Amino acid sequence: MGGLIPGLVPMEAPSEGFEAPGVHSFDLPPIFDSVPWLDKPMLQAALSIILILAFWIPMSRKTALVPSKSQFLGESAYFFLRNSIGRDIIGHDYRKYLPYLIAVFSFVLVNNLWGVFPLSLFPTASHIGWAYGLALVTWVLYNGAGIAKHGFGGYVKRTVLPPGVPWFMWPLVIPIEFVSNILVRPITLSLRLFANMFAGHLLVLVFVLGGEYLLLHSDSLFNKVAGAASLIFSLAIFGLEIVVQSLQAYIFTVLSAQYVSSSIAEEH
């Protein structure tokens, strides 16, 4: 029997009992058997690019002295990303990195919000590969920016050897700084996004599927009441998820800007 809400993993038949949601709930089959790589996260990512372009391109071309609602929304988002993230964090060189900050914020936000959209209800980044991919792009950007600014040798020196460290501490400091700045940053950046999307969607599954089972497949009045309460409470979880999803898009973009800023800074 399917779930009450489209996009969630179907429940087993009542005779087979309730199967608690878990990691297996995120293993979605391909949309078409003949195209094994085209699953729901891939489709959502492709659709998100179309939606993002449909928002930003008309907004940037059709500007008026008295802005429309869509232009006002677009300009507010642009100035927020430009001033609060790009300019305030990166500094006077922020303009060359602003397109990436806008793109990554838009992409992460839209793909996170798929988790509350009624026809999908699955955040793309709840598959770890997408979070790793986004973090890898940021990793390439900030390391490339640092190498372009300081040269390969100069960038490596600034990255692994903070100024003022005495020479006898170098064997201890250099490995720690290398692991921290080169290896750990992209891992923590991706895991932060993935963990929040995974945990949020799993929580939704627990309340919705559990509430559905208790409401529809239990003979106990108490269980039916508990199931109805669980479904109602899931609406509050959806509201919390919108806040978390938006906040994670902001955090991902802010950290990307901070990494770029630290890589192009004259001193660390």
Q: Please report the pLDDT score of residue 6 as a whole number.
A: 42
Q: CB–CB of 13/21 below 8 Å?
A: no
Distance (Å, rounded) from C-alpha 139 to C-alpha 147?
12
Burial label, 3 (beta-carbon count in 10 A; 0-12, 13-18, 19+): middle
Look-up of token digits 């973009």: 253
Per-residue pLDDT of the chain (268 residues; tens, 9 = 90+): 344 444 444 444 444 566 777 788 788 888 888 888 889 999 999 999 999 999 888 877 766 666 677 778 888 889 999 999 999 999 888 999 999 999 999 999 999 999 988 888 899 999 999 999 999 999 999 999 999 999 999 999 888 988 888 888 989 999 999 999 899 999 999 999 999 999 998 988 888 888 888 888 888 888 889 889 988 988 898 999 999 999 999 999 999 999 999 999 876 4
Cα separations (Å) of 166 from 162, 169, 172? 10, 6, 11
Among 115, 59, 86, 124, CA closest to 260: 86
C-alpha torsion sign, points 135, 140, 143, 149 = negative
- Helix axis angle, 170-178 relative to 152-160, nearest 10°? 110
Q: How many CA atoms lie within 13 A of 38 on its CB side?
A: 8
Distance (Å, rounded) from C-alpha 251 to C-alpha 149?
25
* Cβ within 8 Å of residue 170, ≥6 positions away: 161
Report the predicted TM-score, pTM, of the whole model to 2 decimal places: 0.85
* Number of separate helices (H) and strands (E) present in the chain: 8, 0
Q: CB–CB of 198/126 below 8 Å?
A: yes
Q: Please report the pLDDT score of residue 185 as a whole number.
A: 93
Q: Please report the pLDDT score of residue 119 as a whole number.
A: 81
Q: Please report the pLDDT score of residue 122 as a whole number.
A: 92
Distance (Å, rounded) from C-alpha 182 to C-alpha 37?
30
Among 115, 134, 135, 137, CA closest to 124: 115
Distance (Å, rounded) from C-alpha 162 to C-alpha 167?
11
DSSP 114: T
Q: Please report the pLDDT score of residue 66 as a whole number.
A: 66
Q: Please report the pLDDT score of residue 65 as a whole number.
A: 66
Q: Please report the pLDDT score of residue 17 as a whole number.
A: 61
Provide the β-strand partners of residue 263: none
Residue type, 55: F
Cα separations (Å) of 203 from 56, 66, 213, 235? 33, 44, 15, 12
Q: CB–CB of 141/97 below 8 Å?
A: yes
C-alpha torsion sign, points 185, 187, 193, 195 = negative
Distance (Å, rounded) from C-alpha 234 to C-alpha 203?
9
